[in-house]
Structure 1
Amino acid sequence: MSDYFTTEHFELLNKWIGQKRDESNPEQNQAYDDLKKAYEVTETWAKKLKTELFPMGRVEIRKRPTNQGNNFAGYNWAKIYPSSEAPKELAYTVGIDADDGFVVKIDTVGLDESGALRKAYLALRGTYNNSSPFVTKMPTGDGLEKSLDQLVSWSIEAIRSFKLRYDEVVTKLNLGKTLSDEDLLKHFDSKPAFQTFRASWSPPDKALFCRLARAVHTAGLDWWHMNKGVQVRFGRKNPGSERAVGVLGVIRGTRTRKLSWMREMGALTKLNREPLTEELVSKIEGALSAERESLDDWRVLDAERPGLWPDQLRDDPVEQGD
């Protein structure tokens, strides 16, 4: 395959865009083969980006220079789903375009252009340029001067600079799967002691805990158990690691759920073993929503991924004072 994109790739996109595939045309056959090589570069670009930024994600790509109508397209692209939970209708995409150069964006997949969901997406996206909250373009000439690794680095910076993150677009388009309270709690039931413990909760207690759990998860934070007892924590913890990157909150208490909040965040100050109430959960929901940028800085986001549940992470070891 070609090591990188070439000027010829863009010239071919411009020359053949919209034309019907004709296998009896030798010049077109050569163009088709050359554009397939450009697709191989796009695939490598997407896979490198996935490895760096979305280690729990997957890449999907249809490496044909023609569209479903068998006409030459003026672009190529690869889709990156950031996790196994990502809805199939929305993906990060990377690719090259005859008019727009190099493009990184969040885009819909497989939707009717006239459908309500696509229209809602377009309203959210706004103008198709760098003023959009989740589109970044780079002129062809600038992109061709980069190496593949430099292109990946540019893509990472572009995605991290999006004004709306993937999970926020999912929420605004109502694409996310809503877990019932019982399904949510099953993520915590991987620890039998917790399952036994929470079986005694009253319906209001269960609903309040689930409300907090959803707010934390929606903010992209992780939940995990302590090795002993029924204490649960939330913050940032990487898969396979025993130690957390950072702890934002701790839930303790067998008779009454109590919350310790470990850092100031907007109007929410540090808390030590405060009873978990509707008022407190409302404050946490507000802080997690309003302080999204400071939260991103705090949690050391090495890789873009959704928040994880206790059944996806190792327990913390017991520490003195816990």
Structure 2
Amino acid sequence: MDLNEKVADKKRAPASISWKFLFSLIALAAIALLFVVSVFYHGASNVETFKSLGPWGDFAAGLLNPVLTFLSFIGVLVTIVLQRIELSESRLELERSADALEAQIRSINLQSFESTFFQMLSVHNSIVNSIDLVSSETSVTTNGRDCFRVFYTRLTKIYRDNEKKGQPKHGPSKILDVSYRVFWKDSQLELGHYFRFLYNFFRLIDESAEARPYHAKLIRSQLSDQELLILFYNCTSDQGKNFRKYAVKYEIFDNLPTVRLLHPTHADLIDRAAFGQNPMLTGRDVRMPNQERG
């Protein structure tokens, strides 16, 4: 039973009790009136009989006094009960008003959060679109999300060069560590702002009571395959270690094309929970190093 039904029941209860009490009083008054009329009628027709009723009247008065006192006491009790019911009604009305006010506050807070969220989503896209790279070889300018394809090509080239130098002396994780340091040194100017903003975007969702699961999914839907790859390798580095908790909690790499990882074992560098329900996260789907070069 919800709050409205409780209030309705409480409203019906005092009305029912009031009518019963009123009916009882009317019935008692009618009986008393009939008794008085009967006494006076018989007394008027027979004076001697009327005089003989004196002792009986004293007896009746002595008998009725405690009865009437008891009825008065019952009336007081009924009044107290009715007052308690009215107070209960008032309390329920206040609770309903408080619940309505709380719901209104939650709605306002959600609207405020969503306004901030979509503004930040717009800023994120603006940051992506503001990135531009000029090729030193061809002088061709690459803009926006296409830059992440260039970034990943850079990282791949650095990794492959170090792989040739480091195998079999160093394993894939060590080669990646060295390679990403070189990559970050060359690309920090373009990517630093991007990663900082994206980190704080997920932090906003994580710390807000108004955030819903679809908010994180909306951000994830904005990330291209190349962005996910660069973000993945950033999370494996010291520079992106603080981002890992959000990657795991919000399954950021649910759509990561693991087939394009630089080495199969790199998928083990981050908690598997970060991949969510990624259907490509199997050993046979991850391209081996020689396949990447081909």
TM-score of Structure 1 vs Structure 2, range by shorter chain: under 0.3
More helix by share: 2
Larger radius of gyration: 2
Query: Using CA pairs below 8 Å that are at least 6 residues apart, which structure has the higher relative contact order?
Result: 1
TM-score in terms of structure 2 length: 0.24
